[in-house]
Structure 1
């Protein structure tokens, strides 16, 4: 009698269940049955976890099959660390059960930067540490609500430590700069940035706007022949400094802006960026003229192993905020 080729009933039911629930959305894992099959070999304590999210693969529903591993990441936020499990193999047809994923662990007190960017339907969450390591998670932008929740939890955990000397100076300057009309300079094209801020501030983030500026057309620096060439090139493909909202509170600086701070061309920009820098990690803050464009300055936010730069108009509230911290030297260092 020929040997049966049917799979066990339990395997079919489990696979079909994960397959039936598959979609572009990010789901919260609440029980063992919610854990994707690929990651069930990991020692996961759901009772001790603060938040567990599963991130699906970026494939169309019609291309998914019941025997595939359908989730790219499992994000496990614990009391002291974030664990990221990431699929490494093409799919289950070439990977034994329980294998095929990598593990990264980020201690929450080492988080230096959290950056969440969505451009149309492409989302990317990046977490950088004071040791120089980084974790990146790509996701469908339509599922940003759960990522926003995770970013808020990471901010709260990473900001639990008191601010550094530079962080305290920046926080003092920010609180002194708060006014009711801080976002009036955003302009019609950047009202979405204020909406991004209000969405986060409305969930108990205790944020206040420290500075804001709208988008501006940029003029390249340079003299002589090189300057002429640059200006001619920019007349065909103009450069624009995108708007931004700088906010602070709960031990962190948050910047709401676009994926790229400076863009070229005339295509409408619809991306959204949220940058979080815990004030306790700042070791140095500096500001200097932008070597590329007139009327702009570059702000450097330095931690032990990570430098984040912001480009802002030299006559903006953001530039005045940083100037108040760095003083005439243009540099503020932790002592």
Structure 2
């Protein structure tokens, strides 16, 4: 049998990881590997995905990076959770292992500038500023956030505050370590907030907060929002039904997919037995980029890392090219498409585009 070219894949497949997001990410990665191999592989050698479940655990991810590096993988792909991707990126950087991060948006993916790591999804500051623009355009200036403790949520709050304050907006933080959903409702009334953003885990406490707010007549006019994208997945609609509609979130898709994207969308729907999320497209694009690099530059890790600034690949959502961006320590696709969308109250299985970010 021909020797395979191996790519390590970090994916959250079990709880407390967001397993549904992990399933979509893996579906995209696996579909792209199949397509690469159907087209002749990497210079005639089959591409092989070596998958490790991170379960949203940074230590587990670090151990997986060590194991995959020792196995001889040419590069790393994947990961959804920002704090996990951050741990994986630091380890990959230390080991000299190229890592193309699919879905983790935290701006500070690494503490120091690195040549080894590139990223497909937009940094949190870009996406969340576009989300803040949407809130302002909708006339929502007094924003409450129901927040759990994490580097990711704290970073998001900082982005919102910094962007809204000079534009006449404000952010009121509700600490979910001490508040029940009913207490959140009371705090919203007291604060006179016009929007509540769910910076919390899914399904809980996000689902309970949505249900409490929807049932509180005092809060009939408040807009619920979820910039981190919880409503993207089918589980959200299954758990919340009509209550889960009209909750705007960030999605990294263009208004129209590329011709490749249209074909991939059909194949992903068959593989997943449900519509593909943007996370599945991120997975597919990750392998598409890595396969192009491997074909052009071979499997030497240093040559792969050197190639990031020369990438120019047509993905499912547009042309992918990496550059250095102020404040971002990794090679960054500038820029993936960004939308603010929600589930249509008239058809909760359908999405409405409410706001788009310019390139």
Assess same fold via TM > 0.5. Answer: no
Larger radius of gyration: 1
What TM-score results when the alignment is normalised by the length of structure 2? 0.25
TM (norm. structure 1) is 0.26
Using CA pairs below 8 Å that are at least 6 residues apart, which structure has the higher relative contact order?
Answer: 2
